[in-house]
Amino acid sequence: MSSDSGSMSSLTEDLENSSNYTNLEDSELFVASQWQLIWWRFRRHKLALIATAVVAIFYTVCLMPEFLSVHEPRSEESTRAYVPPQRVHFFDGWKPVLPYVYGLNGKRNEITRAMEWEEDKTIVRTIKYFVDGHEYEWLGLIPSDTHLFGLDYEVGKKDPIPLYFFGTDRMGRDLWSRLMYGTRISLSIGLVSVCLMLFLGVLLGGLSGLRGGMTDLIIQRVIEFLRAIPTIPLWLALAAAVPADWGVLKIYFAITIIISLIEW
């Protein structure tokens, strides 16, 4: 009988503690601001946290592609066209070591006349961190020649030993470095376009609601017209309309403005 009364008292205490905790939680929710509620819900969403981390990594690359690249993205080396990705090794047998790559040997196929590449295991190159490489200006402001990783210099040469994580293209350009620089363009176009779309949406939406009448009618019909245009033919037409002699900067801003005007 005493054990039953003890268990009942314990259960009563648990219920009281649970009730107090629930009341405390309810009171916190009651007085919390909208931003606090959003933050609490966001923290419980694991997929959202993972997605945020991935986007943060992408935009980190977007901010410092020069530092993360190994070679100058426009540097061409015709004798190293279509080099396959170099495999990075982390073990010597079963022993963990600093990451390294083997050298590359290329020979021309006598039938296809194409270069064929294979690892030369007699040459071992250890990947170094914070190495000197091609010069650049970070964000166009800070000059530097330091890169996150790379290989040593060969004796008597000014250029570092080639390191190709993703291989090279038909002109011998490093695909890893070009990907780093391309990330900046792709992500910044989206970000700038969204900012312009937000500005246009707020401006025209506010004007439509404020003025009403004919102004609202015209703005709404223009929106419906833009939304009715098929996307793929429109992009094909715009790609053909961009002058071939335009520089990279002009094309960048043209694409950004066009996206903003159509998608807002």
Q: Is 201 among the domain residues?
A: yes
Domain annotation covers residue 207: yes
Backbone Cα Rg of the chain: 30
Please identify, among 30, 63, 96, the residue that sits at the C-terminal boundary of a domain.
63
Spell out the residues 6+ positions from residue 175 whose beta carbon is closer than 8 angstroms to its own: 164, 165, 166, 167, 168, 169
Give domain status of residue 40, yes or no: yes
Q: How far apart are CA 264 and CA 245, in angstroms?
A: 29
The angle that helices 34-44 and 46-63 make with each other, rounded to 10 degrees, is: 100
| Residue 172 in domain | no
Confidence band for 2, pLDDT divided at 50, 70 and 90? very low
- Three-class secondary structure of residue 29 per DSSP: helix
pLDDT value for 53: 93
The answer to whether 169 touches 233, Cβ cutoff 8 Å, is no
pLDDT at 203 exceeding the cut of 50 = yes
CB 166 within 8 A of CB 176: yes
168 DSSP β-pair partners:
174
pLDDT tens per residue across span 59-115: 888 888 889 888 888 888 878 888 888 888 898 888 888 888 888 888 887 787 778
The answer to whether residue 204 sits within a structural domain is yes
| Predicted confidence (pLDDT) at residue 25 exceeds the cutoff of 60 | no
Rounded to the nearest 10 degrees, the angle between the axes of helix 46-63 and helix 175-211 is 110
256 falls within a domain: yes
Chain mean pLDDT for the chain: 79
What is the pLDDT, as a whole number, of residue 263?
Answer: 67
pLDDT tens profile 149-199: 888 655 445 455 678 889 888 888 889 999 998 888 888 877 888 888 888
Q: How many domains does the chain have?
A: 2
Q: Beginning with the edge strand found earlier in the chain, give each strand of the sheet holding 115-126 in spatial order.
A: 89-92, 95-108, 115-126
Instruction: Decide if 254 contacts 242 (C-beta within 8 A).
Output: yes
Residue 135 falls inside a structural domain:
no
Look up the pTM and report it: 0.69
Residue 54's pLDDT band (boundaries 50, 70, 90)? very high
Structural domain of residue 212, as residue ranges? 182-263
User: What percentage of the chain exceeds 70 in pLDDT?
Assistant: 83
Domain presence at residue 140: no
Residue 50 has pLDDT above 90, yes or no: yes
Top-confidence residue, 213 or 4: 213
